[in-house]
Amino acid sequence: MEKGSFERLIEGQGEIKMSGKVWINGKFVDREKARIDIFSHSLQRGSNIFERIICYDIKGRTAVFRLDDHLDRFINSAGLIRMKLPYSKEELKEAVKETVNINNIKNPYIKMSAHYPNEEFDVAPPDDLVQVAIAAVDMLALLRKHKSTRVKPNLRVRVISQRKLHPDTAPVKAKVSANYLSAMLAKYEARDAGADEAIMLDREGNVAEASAENVFLIKDGVIATPGLDYILSGVTRKSVIEVAGDLGIRVEERRVRKEELYEADELFLTATSVKIWPVIQVDEKLINNGEVGEISRRLNNEFNKIISGESKKYDKWLTYTR
């Protein structure tokens, strides 16, 4: 299979750059000085919302992938946990661009968050002070150094016992830190079973998502992916659905039974950092004899064109920082 966007970025990365400047509430500070109180509400209660956004070098210019969509989700996450952001979408967009430019990292990975920085004893903070932080880091090199499974080109996954949070108990469409405890436990369970990644089911036993990725399967030329009832609305998920439609491939957003994973002709996960991540094994069952399928290849190739600036149709997804 032609190398995916993440695999291509990993190659040739230099030394890890952990210094640099972090944008915090309108001012840049050295990363070493970007700190919050260890007893802050968001650290103690998990009330931190965040986004991870990837950039690509296109002919010497830095392009942020689907910045508007990420900011929309960031703002929506704040609303779902009743957090009042002190900045508009346009102000956040300019802050992202400034942060990318001042740090001058090739293919930077943007990490942004909003949190309650003050110590609070109440579970609902009476102090509505919110701190927004934006950093541009060489996270890809960091993942390579620590031999993260996220640099693997193909995956072996395990359907695990840890169930996905129910929307009646938590705002599953918010990218908020507290929601990721179940994902962490799911990943541990998958690792213990010798797999690279976990697949979580919802309360009814249908496929929900992986620990930090959306799930897609292909059967008889048709793509199926779980609907948004239980899952985070992934930006890459949204992109795949649109690209597949433009390629004439039918996509169904519906309930996906666990058994369909084992019957699939192809299977892949999607996430911001890895785009399309082929799965070659579920539990003990090889998918497509352990080979990446044709539709996954087509989608991967199309994404490579997009992030290389070769697809004019999708220029709308690229925001150049200068």
214-219 and 207-210 as β-strands: parallel, antiparallel, unpaired? Answer: unpaired
- Are 258 and 132 in contact, with CB atoms under 8 Å apart? no
* φ and ψ at residue 277, rounded to 5 degrees: -120, 100
- Are 268 and 296 in contact, with CB atoms under 8 Å apart? yes
Structure tokens at 282: 């579920």
* DSSP letter for each residue of 227-287: -TTSS---HHHHHHHHHHHHTT--EEEE--BHHHHHH-SEEEEEETTTEEEEEEEETTEES
Side-chain-side CA neighbours of residue 6 (13 Å)? 25
Q: Tokens 């929900």, residue?
A: 208
Q: Tokens 């799965």, residue?
A: 279
Strand, helix or coil at 204? Answer: coil
| Cα 115 to Cα 121: distance, rounded to the nearest angstrom | 15
Q: Tokens 């084992």, residue?
A: 262
The contacts found for 51-54 with CB under 8 angstroms, 24 or more apart, are 51/110, 51/111, 51/112, 51/113, 51/175, 52/109, 52/110, 52/111, 52/272, 52/273, 53/96, 53/109, 53/110, 53/112, 53/272, 54/107, 54/109, 54/110, 54/272, 54/273
Provide the annotated active-site residues.
175
Side-chain-side CA neighbours of residue 208 (13 Å)? 29
| Cα 190 to Cα 156: distance, rounded to the nearest angstrom | 9
* φ and ψ at residue 96, rounded to 5 degrees: -60, -45
